[in-house]
Amino acid sequence: GAVVSQHPSRVICKSGTSVKIECRSLDFQATTMFWYRQFPKQSLMLMATSNEGSKATYEQGVEKDKFLINHASLTLSTLTVTSAHPEDSSFYICSARSPSTDTQYFGPGTRLTVL
Amino acid sequence: AQSVAQPEDQVNVAEGNPLTVKCTYSVSGNPYLFWYVQYPNRGLQFLLKYITGDNLVKGSYGFEAEFNKSQTSFHLKKPSALVSDSALYFCAVRENQAGTALIFGKGTTLSVSS
């Protein structure tokens, strides 16, 4: 099946620093990737839709200058949380759409803790 | 606007018994419907999807779901539950347009007791 990886799986950082999370589709090319945020025992909240070679589309209420998304290739999208604050602590999950199956496959997630 | 409702926060079932996790949806046009499963501190694993065709969809690990257009439902089922099926299950919908994002229900925790 289609595999999506995320790195790192867990990161702890100090308030004010920036953190980059990578999302890779390992065995397929993804023209579209998505970034979600999940709070404990809650559903996934879509943050942005990322299309290869173009600017990401952010959902209402998501600060594009704080959550920088880059989709530079068909297999890689990155999310950078800039000037992180404790309220940014969350579980971030990416997904990639496989064109052949028209299905989103999800990465294992990244647990971000901002001290 | 699209939406998904999972009316049950938790479903409890004994091992070997059939299980049902409920999902209803609202979307303009024909829906694309999905079920995913999430284990603790992990990403989501794809179980099955309905796009068109047969209303009964079979997926991974013995799960199946039935699309009911008149009731706008897409309930997840399994004839015989396993303890290892215990996890968080998400129903999701998207519009019939490639590249659009999934909208998720709030999730239902399935607990299978031995």
Distance in angstroms (rounded) separating the CA atoms of residues B14 and B4: 27
Here the tokens at position A111 are 């647990």
Phi/psi region, residue A16 (left: phi>0; alpha: psi -120 to 50; beta: rest), is left
Q: Per the structure block, which two tokens stand in for A6? A: 């995320």
Q: Does A92 touch chain B (CB under 8 A)?
A: no
Substitution target in B44, B108, B111 with the highest count of A β-carbons within 10 Å is B44
- Dig out the tokens for A16 from the structure: 């004010």
Asked if B43 and A93 come within 8 Å (Cβ–Cβ), the reply is yes
pLDDT digits (tens, 9 = 90+) for A59-109: 999 999 999 999 889 999 999 999 999 999 999 999 999 988 889 999 999
Q: Which helix (H) or strand (E) holds B90?
A: strand B87-94
Residue A53, pLDDT above cutoff 90: no
What tokens appear for A106 in the block?
């999800």
Note the pLDDT of residue A93: 95
Contact (CB, 8 A) for A15 and A85? yes
B98's tokens = 């490639």
pLDDT band at A42 (very low <50, low <70, confident <90, very high): confident
Contacts of B41 (CB under 8 A, 6+ apart): A91, A109, A111
Residues of B in contact with A29 (CB under 8 A): none
CB proximity B2 to A under 8 Å: no
Q: According to the model, what pLDDT value does residue A97 have? A: 92
Please identify among residues 28-87 of chain B the ones whose CB lies closer than 8 Å to any CB of chain A.
32, 34, 36, 41-46, 49, 51
Least confident segment among A22-31, A80-89, B16-25, B96-105: B96-105
Contacts of A6 in chain B (CB under 8 A): 43
What token pair was written down for B18?
């059939």
Count of all residues that appear for chain B in the document: 114
Residues in chain A: 115
Q: Over 70: is that where the pLDDT of A8 sits?
A: yes
Predicted confidence (pLDDT) per residue in B48-81, tens digit: 999 988 999 999 999 999 999 999 999 999 999 9
Check CB contact of B106 with chain A, cutoff 8 Å: yes
Please report which helix (H) or strand (E) contains residue B10, including its range: strand B10-14
